[in-house]
Amino acid sequence: MIESNKVHKVSVNVIIEDRAGWETKIVGNHGISLLLEIVGPNHSINLLFDASHSADSILHNMDLLNISPTIIDFIYLSHCHWDHTGGLLGMVKAVGNNDLHVICHSTLFTPRYITEPCIKSIGIPGENSIDEIKKHCHLTQIDTHFSLMPGVISSGEVKREVPYEDSLTSSTFIEIGEKLIPDVIKDDISLIINLKNKGLVIITGCSHAGIINIIRQAIRITDEKRIHSIIGGLHLIDADEDRIQKTTEEFVKLDVQKFYVGHCTGLRTEAALLEKYQDRFCKLYSGMKIEL
């Protein structure tokens, strides 16, 4: 268990999401990239959570939002898929600081595929080779939970224990040796922020590990049972009604206070959350800013 101080403030700029807001030149595209300013009692960091599929779109939106990439201290990658990692090399170069830290799971650079309707690579795009990334930053690949700063914790590999989250909602494969084997996406990691007087803020990319599994992991690591908010994708886009209902019921039991979700969450899940949580549910969009 990690003993941690509390974070005083979290600001989240939604740089890239699947949709953009109204009357704006800010772009939306498939993927997610969030810029977090995390302020602690004695220290603060700027962290880019995921790199969408293109650095060009991230930099375009950051320019319109008057945010310089040079402020980024960390890039945190939630998992390997192209719509979360494609802009990595471009962003590392845009930051232009060899002291930049990139954090990910040890298998993030392992080739991944989907086989329907035909075989296609869905892992981190080839130009983002591990050797190329290491030329421009510090690359940290770690599979267990650890603290980035007081009150900010990487989940590490998430324990899979919820029965209805046991099956993947899409058929993906990982290349091990010369074989393709079913990919349980064990590299799916999340960021856990312990917010003073509020509880946990959980930042997810796609929640391939199962959002309830992720919440339970966060509680186990921090010994904090209050869940202030969940921000990111829940990957219930093709989940059946039974799983959506069970997930929503568990959110109620866990007393989750707020949802800021989008990307792969799915319309039916979003509708269920809106009905249950009303104004405590917010749909993400490019250009949105969340102050916690």
pLDDT of residue 163: 94
Residues in the chain: 292
The arithmetic mean of pLDDT across residues 212-241, rounded, is: 96
Residue with tokens 């981190």: 124
| Beta pairing class for 120-121 and 112-114 | antiparallel
Interatomic CA distance for residues 179 and 150, integer angstroms: 41
- Helix or strand run (H / E) with residue 145: none
* Contact by Cβ (8 Å): 139, 153: no
Residue type, 188: D
pLDDT of residue 3: 43
Other beta carbons within 10 Å of 290: 18
* Contact by Cβ (8 Å): 147, 153: yes
Quick one: 30 exposed, middle or buried, by C-beta within 10 A (0-12, 13-18, 19+)? middle
pLDDT single digits (tens) 112-148: 999 888 899 999 999 999 999 999 999 999 999 999 9
**Average pLDDT over all residues of the chain:** 94
Picking from 236, 206, 233, 202, the residue whose alpha carbon sits closest to that of residue 220 is 202
Say whether pLDDT at 278 is over 70: yes
Interatomic CA distance for residues 230 and 290, integer angstroms: 12
* Contact by Cβ (8 Å): 120, 114: yes
Interatomic CA distance for residues 284 and 27, integer angstroms: 13
| Domain positions in the chain | 9-291
Say whether pLDDT at 1 is over 60: no
Whole-model pTM: value is 0.96
Residue type, 104: C
Helix, strand or coil, per DSSP, at residue 60: helix
- Architecture, CATH, for domain 9-291: 4-Layer Sandwich (3.60)
Find the range with the poorest average confidence among 53-57, 114-118, 238-242, 251-255: 114-118
- Whole-angstrom CA distances from 188 to 83, 142, 158 are 14, 12, 7
